[in-house]
Amino acid sequence: MSRIFNFNAGPAALPLKVLEQVKAETLDFRGTGMSILEISHRSKFFEQVLDDAIDRTRRLLGLNKSYHVLFLQGGASLQFSMIPMNLAVAGKPVDYVDTGTWATRAIKEARNLGKDVRVVASSEDKEYTHIPENVPVDRDAAYLHITSNNTIRGTQWRDFPDSGGVPIISDMSSDIFSRRFDPKPFGMIYAGAQKNLGPAGVTLVIIREDLLERVPKELPTMLRYTTYSENKSLYNTPPCFAIYVADLVLEWIEETIGGLDAMQKTNDEKARIIYGYIDSQDFYRGTARPDSRSKMNVTFRLPDPELEKQFLAEAGAAGLGGLKGHRSVGGFRASIYNSVTVEAVKALVSFMKDFAAKRG
């Protein structure tokens, strides 16, 4: 079996240990004589998987009992609509920070629903190459929405804004479980799994009890957060396989890696290796402002488009995949999520050095 170094932005790399366990259990899930793909979501076997995923999420993030851990479908993109539908408050504005594509889409969906949307800070004037320094806070806002990591532009919040008690709602799709942070200011955290947690098909939603009290009863059943909190994500058939794989990834972070502090240390090392090289020369140019650089998505350009075509082709031939930048911005993007190894990053930097020596 020949595996490449996978730098895809999502669906993205999964830990090899997890993939091997999935392979081993595909035909016979833990002695049941059934595949995990065949097991009833109402069975004790799947209930154990779901409970374990919830418990590991709580332990890793340090969540108190006021938070509900839910598993939904529809990706983070469905949450862009569900959040204002469920959590906006009549007579109060909803505040958003615009740091690029995914934040912009969240703003659009809230406006589509006729909510009083205010963009309180934005980095659009600098082509979203940084995180806004100052975020004004209005204590009358229903919530403050941020996107913790911008996969396309390669920017990330180093420190979250002081919301003055206003519940922060954050899309953490691409950096969930990558570092330690204080969850208390957050009323809700959500994440599509396919970048840093598991396969596509499941969305993690962590929501505080007081925000559930806002949910309008007249919303369609499947669009109410309370439907999931009251039924432990089992109102209808959940994405069982995706939850199972996510649970294995959580187990890997907790037991193999050693928790979030150890995971963060490894992620810091990977970022140091690649950004250290980019900063040491002038052939490759990083596109994000240094004080806003993402430790999950490293974006860079080469001197001209022809060289970029050659770089992409030769990188693929060298077993380095998924480096092409998002179609909206071009260039390159190395996604160095939790599952991407230090070895993979070193291999990328070695290739970059060789390519620059030949073409620079």
Q: What is the CATH classification number for the domain harbouring 96?
A: 3.40.640.10
| Average confidence score pLDDT of the chain | 97
Whether 302 and 282 have beta carbons less than 8 Å apart is answered as: no
Distance of CA 327 to the CA centre of its chain: 19
The one catalytic residue among 102, 115, 252, 270: 102
What percent of the residues of the chain are helix, what percent strand, and what percent coil, each to the nearest 5? 40, 15, 45
* 175 and 270 fall within a common domain: no
Mean pLDDT of 65-73: 98
Structural domain includes residue 267:
yes
Domain boundary among 257, 285, 304: 257
pLDDT at 153: 97
Mean pLDDT of 216-235: 98
* 265 and 225 fall within a common domain: no
Alpha-carbon torsion (336, 342, 344, 349), positive or negative: positive
Instruction: Check which CATH number belongs to the domain holding 338 and give it.
Output: 3.90.1150.10
Domain boundary among 229, 257, 285: 257
* 253 and 323 fall within a common domain: no
Structural domain includes residue 101:
yes
* 232 and 162 fall within a common domain: yes
Mean pLDDT of 59-78: 98
Q: H or E segment at 343?
A: helix 342-359
* 166 and 315 fall within a common domain: no
* 253 and 268 fall within a common domain: no
As a whole-number percent, the residues of the chain with pLDDT over 70 amount to: 100
Structural domain includes residue 156:
yes
Confidence tier at 1 by pLDDT (50, 70, 90): low
* 252 and 125 fall within a common domain: yes
pLDDT at 192: 98
Alpha-carbon torsion (332, 336, 339, 344), positive or negative: positive
Q: Is there a catalytic annotation at residue 102?
A: yes
Report the domain count for the chain. 2
Q: pLDDT per residue over 259-311, tens digit each?
A: 999 999 999 999 999 999 999 999 999 999 999 999 999 999 999 999 999 99
Structural domain includes residue 1:
no
Which among 9, 3, 19, 56 has a CA at the least distance from the CA of 245?
19
Which has more confidence, 33 or 2?
33
Q: Which residues contact 195 (CB under 8 A, 6 or more apart)?
A: 9, 10, 11, 12, 151, 173, 174, 296, 335, 337
Domain boundary among 203, 237, 257: 257
Which among 351, 271, 276, 279 has a CA at the least distance from the CA of 315?
351
The one catalytic residue among 95, 98, 195, 247: 195
* 184 and 117 fall within a common domain: yes
* 324 and 202 fall within a common domain: no
pLDDT at 2: 84
* 206 and 278 fall within a common domain: no
Q: Structural domain of residue 342, as residue ranges?
A: 259-359
Mean pLDDT of 166-190: 98
pLDDT of residue 342 exceeding 90: yes
CA distance 335 to 232: 32
pLDDT of residue 242 exceeding 90: yes
The one catalytic residue among 95, 98, 115, 171: 171
* 224 and 122 fall within a common domain: yes
Q: Go through 129-144 and write b for each residue having 16 or more CB atoms within 10 A of its CB, e for each that does not.
A: bbbbeebeeeeebbbb
- Number of CB atoms found within 10 A of residue 255's CB: 10
pLDDT at 360: 79
pLDDT of residue 10 exceeding 80: yes
Distance of CA 293 to the CA centre of its chain: 15
Mean pLDDT of 222-235: 98
* 46 and 169 fall within a common domain: yes
Which among 7, 108, 89 has a CA at the least distance from the CA of 325?
7
